[in-house]
Amino acid sequence: MKKSDNTPQQKKNKKPKSRKTTFSIGYLFLFLVVLYVIQIFMSPRADEIPYSQFREYVSEGKIVDCSIGERIIKGHFRGSSSEKDLPVPFVAVPVHDPKLVEELKRQNVQFKGEIENTFFKSMIMWWIFPFAIVALAWFFISKKIGGVGAPFMSFGKAKIKLYAEEDVKKTSFADVAGCDEAKEELKEIIDFLKYPQKFQKLGGKIPKGVLLIGPPGTGKTLLAKAVAGESGVPFFSISGSDFVEMFVGMGAARVRDMFEQAKHKAPCIIFIDELDSVGRQRGAGLGGGHDEREQTLNQLLAEMDGFSSQKGVIIIAATNRPDVLDSALLRPGRFDRQVTVDRPDLLGREAVLKVHAKDVKVSPNGDLKIIAKRTPGFSGADLANVINEAALLAARRDKKFVEMGELEEAIERVVAGPERKSRVISDEEKSIVAYHESGHTLVAALLPHSDPVHKVSIIARGAAALGYTLQLPTEDKYLTRESEILNTLCVLLAGRAAEEAAFHELSTGSQNDLERATKLTRNYVCKFGMSAALGPQTYGRQQGNIFLGHDLVQEKEYSEKTAIEIDAEVTRIIKDSYNKAKTLIDENMDKLQLLAKKLEEVEVLEGDQILELLSLNNGNKPKQSGKDNESGEKAVS
């Protein structure tokens, strides 16, 4: 192994690097201002006296010294008879007086003649010097006020980032996985940018704008870069928030400048990220709308109408809030094609994991297909985080490869946060948490066709969770049946029921479970229309956005009597689910105690160990009562 060259003796002998002195225009400006202030305000003020008084001071012997010029006499005189007092400066306008010199000699006054150059001195003092200060101040402000390194006169310039063709070509569709349908939609844009004549000869018009819609982290920005990389054209990127500034009209000016720059680089792609920050619905704000943002949006609409798609400028925008966009943006002729970039399915997750694991040394036993099955609902960014967390864990443990254990632990870190083994809890609290999580696990195992319990732990994770029960579905689900919702409620409330059955007392550990159960039940009644008492009807609007004024003044869509009925139905369903969970636990108390004691001993149980403890792998079903339901939710508490 090669030894480091930085031995203590060598470090001692190394000369410290000299720091280069950098010139700052701000320091020069400050120095000139201070100098000017000293000249104007700190220099001694001279008393203006008439020539007659000056002659009187000369006769009385009060003049200490003086300089006689053609237009001015200046010097010092004694203000009192005391020699200790400081001489007072004075100025006087001279008159023709031949006897003045003889009188000054007689009084032993030090005097001299002075040749004045008042014109140049006045120019420097009152014109050139102040003008230099103003010029330096303007230069300093122009460099700083527009942002770091931004000139003052560039407020109207768009903060658009142009990617070189070499950088753009590094990203292709091979780097994007899990959104095959979106890639198919965008291939037409690539063909138009590469071979525009193929479309133009048939009279077809390519869409001017493509709007990428999807949850955060699904790869919308990466997909836009891949389109530019596949087509080999310049790629302009800007965020929607970069348009709006504190100065009125700057947003609209930047929109105009952005399109001007794009026209010179055509064919090219303009990518606007977070379009909802500038494209929100107009005229619906709390105070009548945001005038500057609306001006920017109006200019964007005008520019999209003003240029022709034949010029080869394609606009791609991304947002995760299409519901708040202005309708004028979504009409044909503007963003007339909408491409949904959703969370990947099972095959898509496996492909995304392979893309992110290309540069990571994964052990041969690291099956990414299993990891894909255990990460339903994960976005591309979440999957990238799983691979990265696994690599960090393997490096922390001095391993040469990322193994399956690190990959599975990385999933738990992303879902529930890192383990907090340093949090020490008492034996009594540990027992409460063990029974709580065992309740979730037992009820989830008792209800058929429910998602299997992958792991249960009483090791604290994240900020508040003292333990968690992780259920993972065996396949992707796009619909949820009524029985699955009711079973999910039972699983969520089973932790509280287990605490009551074991200790005959409740704790605050069920807070998150109750919040989730109440929200799910209210959706069951008001949103899904599954309540038999209230019928197949939705109650209330979707939760509105506070910046949309009409959501705040919307009248209630149901009466107070109906609201009372909704509350009563929500309470009934929650109580029924809780009673069912409590009944299942009471009938299988021996299984609950077995799980809880084992959890207190080992702190973590895997799915196979749970099945073995409950004797489910031998076909011995625990006792259950009531109607069989299904569960498909993960319980974390």
Does residue 494 share a domain with residue 404? Answer: no
Question: Tens of pLDDT along 360-399?
Answer: 888 888 888 888 888 888 888 899 999 999 999 999 989 8
Residue 601, C-beta contacts closer than 8 angstroms, at least 6 positions apart: none
Measure the CA–CA gap between 212 and 224, rounded to whole angstroms: 9
- The pLDDT score that the predictor gives to residue 488 is 92
Whether 11 is in a domain gets the answer no
| Average pLDDT taken over every residue of the chain | 78
Q: Per-residue pLDDT for 115 more than 70?
A: no
Q: Per-residue pLDDT for 287 more than 70?
A: no
Asked whether 89 and 44 are in contact (CB, 8 A), the reply is yes
Measure the CA–CA gap between 195 and 189, rounded to whole angstroms: 10
Does residue 126 share a domain with residue 107? Answer: no
Whether 48 is in a domain gets the answer yes
Catalytic residue, candidates 408, 412, 437, 499: 437
Report the range out of 125-129, 234-238, 416-420, 475-479 with the highest average pLDDT: 234-238
Does residue 551 share a domain with residue 600? Answer: yes
Q: In this structure, what CATH number is given to the domain that contains residue 470?
A: 1.20.58.760
H-assigned helices in 232-367: 250-264, 291-306, 346-356
Does residue 134 share a domain with residue 110? Answer: no
Does residue 195 share a domain with residue 149? Answer: no
Higher-pLDDT residue of 615 and 435 is 435
Does residue 209 share a domain with residue 146? Answer: no
Q: Final residue of a domain: which of 391, 415, 439? A: 415
State CA 75 to chain mean position distance.
Answer: 69
Residue 32, φ and ψ in degrees, nearest 5:
-65, -40
Does residue 147 share a domain with residue 208? Answer: no
Residue 62, C-beta contacts closer than 8 angstroms, at least 6 positions apart: 77, 78
Measure the CA–CA gap between 294 and 275, rounded to whole angstroms: 13
- Return the DSSP state at 435: H
Half-sphere exposure of 555 (CA within 13 A, CB side): 3
Q: In this structure, what CATH number is given to the domain that contains residue 109?
A: 3.30.720.210
pLDDT tier for residue 13 given thresholds of 50, 70 and 90: very low
Q: Per-residue pLDDT for 1 more than 60?
A: no
Tally Cβ neighbours within 10 Å of residue 96: 5
The number of folded domains in the chain is 5
Does residue 539 share a domain with residue 588? Answer: yes
Q: Per-residue pLDDT for 634 more than 50?
A: no
Measure the CA–CA gap between 150 and 612, rounded to whole angstroms: 67
pLDDT tier for residue 432 given thresholds of 50, 70 and 90: very high
Whether 537 is in a domain gets the answer yes
Does residue 542 share a domain with residue 441? Answer: yes
Q: In this structure, what CATH number is given to the domain that contains residue 303?
A: 3.40.50.300
Q: Per-residue pLDDT for 170 more than 60?
A: yes
Q: Final residue of a domain: which of 275, 306, 340? A: 340
Higher-pLDDT residue of 318 and 282 is 318
Q: Per-residue pLDDT for 301 more than 70?
A: yes
Q: Final residue of a domain: which of 116, 146, 178? A: 116
Whether 9 is in a domain gets the answer no
Does residue 585 share a domain with residue 446? Answer: yes
SS3 track for 136-201: HHHHHHHHHCCCCCCCHHHCCCCCCEEECHHHHCCCCHHHCCCCHHHHHHHHHHHHHHHCHHHHHC
Cis amide bond preceding 364, omega within 30: no
Whether 511 is in a domain gets the answer yes
pLDDT tier for residue 120 given thresholds of 50, 70 and 90: low
Does residue 203 share a domain with residue 146? Answer: no
- Hey, what long-range contacts does 305-309 have (CB within 8 A, 24 or more apart)? 305/333, 305/334, 306/259, 307/208, 307/259, 307/263, 309/205, 309/206, 309/207, 309/208
Does residue 529 share a domain with residue 441? Answer: yes
- Hey, what long-range contacts does 605-609 have (CB within 8 A, 24 or more apart)? 605/441, 605/455, 605/456, 605/457, 606/454, 606/455, 607/452, 607/453, 607/454, 607/455
Residue among 233, 242, 224, 353 nearest 296 (CA): 242
Report the range out of 88-102, 281-295, 588-602 with the highest average pLDDT: 588-602
Determine the 3-state secondary structure of 91 from DSSP.
strand
Whether 630 is in a domain gets the answer yes
pLDDT tier for residue 568 given thresholds of 50, 70 and 90: very high
Whether 327 is in a domain gets the answer yes
437: annotated active-site residue: yes
State the angle between helix axes of 220-231 and 180-194 in degrees (0 to 180), rounded to the nearest 10. 30
- Return the DSSP state at 17: P
Whether 422 is in a domain gets the answer no
Range of the domain at 144: 119-154
Q: In this structure, what CATH number is given to the domain that contains residue 399?
A: 1.10.8.60
